[in-house]
Amino acid sequence: MRVMDCRNFKELLDSYLCGELAVETNHAILGHAEHCGACRDEMAARRALRQSLRRACSREEMSAEAIERMRARLRAEAGLADRATGAAVKTGRRGWLTRLFEARLLVPVAATAALLLLIGGAWSLYVVWPKAGPEQTVAEKNRVPELSERLIGESAGDHRNCAAKFLNATEPAEMPDSVREFDPACVRLDKVAAEGAKGLLLRSAHVCGYGERRFAHLVYTRDDRLISLLVTKRDARALKIGDVPPFDGLSAGLQQYEQVEQDRLALGAYQTAKHVVLVVSDLPESENRALAERLAKPVVEHLRSAELSRAALNPEERLGRLSPREWNRL
Amino acid sequence: MEQSNSQQRLEAFEAEAVGYAGQLFRVALRVCRDREKAEDLVQETYLQAWRSFHRFELGTNLRAWLFKILFNVHYSRLRRERLNLTPVEETIAETIAYDPPAPQRLTDEEVLAALERLPRDFQIPVVLSDVEELSYREIAEAMQIPIGTVMSRLHRGRKLLRMELANYAREAGYKIAN
């Protein structure tokens, strides 16, 4: 251990005041202070400085209105009647739907779109989304999308590129067993989804890709409208470094997006710990939302239980469903 | 039935967590440097916390968990706004060999003014440690930086703060120890 001279004392003094030192070092600090008046004074001065900092900062209070607004949003989020404000968040429906939150992205100005076309080509249209403008209300601003813009773009792109090929497909469609290579949880995905797909015609089941993103893809039609159900794996590395939201987005319910470049696409998404399930179509937003709930729900439940049973077999596979304590260890 | 269940859960959450709003707000203020943005950040932090409250383990440190979510929300907003985190000027304090003693008899206003002049990367760990009394490890987890970085930023941040205050004190003609 270092000799406790005045220099070391001053180096360690703040950590001593924070209670961050080992017991022996604490003793050494106190021992030094006992016979060195200058260091004793320094200790008193730094202690006073800490107290002064605490007093000065503690004057800043969150306003009572802001706290009340926050409580109101929590009540709305919990699906409880919002007596205080009533307006901010839709809570009309219960159960699964109560936790539904929207991320309605506002229509971009035409100029932005034109500029993007010039600089990025058509591809960037998928990827770049309009930013929340200052004209938005607080409630709208707070409906933060949890999906990355990139994934939204890739899913929309895959729907446009791939699903269209199967609009008039006639062969009976079945998910090939080779899907196992992509993800064992997606084996028999078509059967799992069938429960929510009543009234839809399955045109194709396959694994495909858009850019670097891979999807298990079910293509449906209803009255000549194309509907894609896409399952993709969340990026485990990105999860770890916090690039994608670490929260299991399922708790937030269905997220609804609308893309208004070119042809209008509606996109509803659920996250599980390790997957994202998306329903993309050119149906009106409300219809797509209803369909997404119905179609994606059994798939999401299936994936969750597959994730859990794999996690039980292999504890290291549990990324994404980590407790705060486990997160801390990452 | 379901509603009363939600009600109970929410009440439990509020009872446990909302009391920390003031502390979160003070840190949010340092992070955002704007009252309205800070309130918004705290609100979003609580919404996120509520959404994953079912996975919070009772008995672990709720306050540290909330701070962690706060920085998570903050960082993902920065990313969304396509802003890069400001690079830390690690060299600022490196060159300062002289460690001034803590001045005495300064007013809280002077201390606050000096704090606000610190670069944000130093200011935030100092507030988390000296005001909110988070441990070094909790700060590292909340800010998602290595603990060694926390320690060096704290060391330099405190040193810079004392320099600022020493200048003040000298100008005001206060006594400085040593």
Measure the CA–CA gap between A116 and A124, rounded to whole angstroms: 7
Measure the CA–CA gap between A119 and B116, rounded to whole angstroms: 41
At B39 the pLDDT is 94
pLDDT higher for A61 or A324? Answer: A61
Task: Provide, rounded to the nearest whole percent, the portion of chain A with pLDDT above 70.
Answer: 64
Q: Which of A60, A80, A321 has the CB atom closest to B7's CB atom?
A: A80
At A6 the pLDDT is 93
Give A217's pLDDT tier (boundaries 50, 70, 90): very high
pLDDT tens for each residue of A165-184: 888 887 778 898 888 888 88
Task: Provide, rounded to the nearest whole percent, the portion of chain A with pLDDT above 90.
Answer: 25
At A204 the pLDDT is 92
Give A33's pLDDT tier (boundaries 50, 70, 90): very high
pLDDT higher for B99 or A116? Answer: B99
The pair of structure tokens assigned to B62 is 């709720």
Q: A252 pLDDT exceeds 60?
A: no
A55 to chain B, any CB pair closer than 8 A? The answer is yes
At B67 the pLDDT is 94
Give A273's pLDDT tier (boundaries 50, 70, 90): confident
At B151 the pLDDT is 93
Give B171's pLDDT tier (boundaries 50, 70, 90): confident
Q: Do A324 and B144 touch (CB under 8 A)?
A: no
Distance from CA of B58 to the nearest CA of A (A): 10
Distance from CA of B23 to the nearest CA of A (A): 8
Measure the CA–CA gap between B10 and B53, rounded to whole angstroms: 10
At A36 the pLDDT is 94
Other beta carbons less than 10 A from residue A189's beta carbon: 22
At A253 the pLDDT is 61
Q: A93 pLDDT exceeds 50?
A: no
pLDDT tens for each residue of B24-82: 999 999 998 889 999 999 999 999 998 888 777 766 788 899 999 999 999 888 876 65
Q: Which of A48, A69, A94 has the CB atom closest to B43's CB atom?
A: A69
Distance from CA of A219 to the nearest CA of B (A): 31
Name the residue among B96, B120, B155 with its Cα closest to residue A14.
Answer: B155
* Residues of chain A found within 8 Å of residue B112, distances taken between Cβ atoms: 53, 56-57
At A145 the pLDDT is 40
Other beta carbons less than 10 A from residue B85's beta carbon: 11
Q: Do A245 and B57 touch (CB under 8 A)?
A: no
At A321 the pLDDT is 45
A198 burial level (CB within 10 Å; 0-12, 13-18, 19+): exposed
Measure the CA–CA gap between A262 and A124, rounded to whole angstroms: 12
Identify the bridge partners of residue A229 per DSSP, sorted by sequence position. Answer: A218, A279
Q: Do B48 and A247 touch (CB under 8 A)?
A: yes
At A120 the pLDDT is 40
Instruction: Tally the residues of chain B.
Output: 178
Give A12's pLDDT tier (boundaries 50, 70, 90): very high
> What mean pLDDT, rounded, does chain A reach?
72
Task: Provide, rounded to the nearest whole percent, the portion of chain B with pLDDT above 70.
Answer: 82
In this structure, of A62-66, A216-220, B86-90, B127-131, the range with the lowest mean pLDDT score is: B86-90
* Residues of chain A found within 8 Å of residue B104, distances taken between Cβ atoms: 45, 48
In this structure, which long-range contacts are made by residues A310-319, counting pairs with CB atoms below 8 Å and at least 24 apart in sequence? A310/A185, A318/A273, A319/A236, A319/A239, A319/A240, A319/A273, A319/A274
CB of B36 closer than 8 Å to CB of A134: no
CB of B65 closer than 8 Å to CB of A93: no
A90 to chain B, any CB pair closer than 8 A? The answer is no
Pairing of strands A265-271, A275-281: antiparallel
Judged by DSSP in three states, A269 sits in strand
In the block, which residue shows the tokens 């949003």?
Answer: A73
A83 burial level (CB within 10 Å; 0-12, 13-18, 19+): exposed
Measure the CA–CA gap between B166 and B159, rounded to whole angstroms: 10
pLDDT higher for A206 or A169? Answer: A206
Q: Which of B79, B111, B144 has the CB atom closest to A49's CB atom?
A: B111
A323 to chain B, any CB pair closer than 8 A? The answer is yes
At B27 the pLDDT is 94
Residue at A118: amino acid letter: L
A93 to chain B, any CB pair closer than 8 A? The answer is no
* Residues of chain A found within 8 Å of residue B6, distances taken between Cβ atoms: 78-80, 98
Stretch A284-306: mean pLDDT, rounded?
Answer: 86
Expressed in angstroms, the distance from the first to the final Cα of chain A is 31
In the block, which residue shows the tokens 């229509």?
Answer: A107
Stretch B90-101: mean pLDDT, rounded?
Answer: 52
pLDDT tens for each residue of A227-248: 999 999 876 655 555 444 444 4
CB of B145 closer than 8 Å to CB of B117: no
Residue at A265: amino acid letter: L
Give A330's pLDDT tier (boundaries 50, 70, 90): very low
- C-alpha dist (Å) from residue B5 to A17, A111, A159, B2, B21: 44, 49, 40, 5, 24
In this structure, of A123-127, A270-274, B5-9, B103-107, the range with the lowest mean pLDDT score is: A123-127
Q: Do A42 and B133 touch (CB under 8 A)?
A: no
Measure the CA–CA gap between A280 and A155, rounded to whole angstroms: 7
> What mean pLDDT, rounded, does chain B reach?
82
Among A40, A70, A94, A97, the residue to mutate for chain B (most B Cβ within 10 A): A70
Stretch A250-271: mean pLDDT, rounded?
Answer: 70
At A314 the pLDDT is 54
Q: A7 pLDDT exceeds 50?
A: yes
pLDDT tens for each residue of A94-150: 233 333 333 333 334 444 444 444 444 333 333 333 333 333 333 332 333 456 667
Measure the CA–CA gap between A299 and A191, rounded to whole angstroms: 10
At A166 the pLDDT is 86
Q: Which of B10, B21, B111 has the CB atom closest to A62's CB atom?
A: B21
Other beta carbons less than 10 A from residue B173's beta carbon: 6
Stretch B79-97: mean pLDDT, rounded?
Answer: 48
How high is the ipTM of this complex?
A: 0.83
At B15 the pLDDT is 84
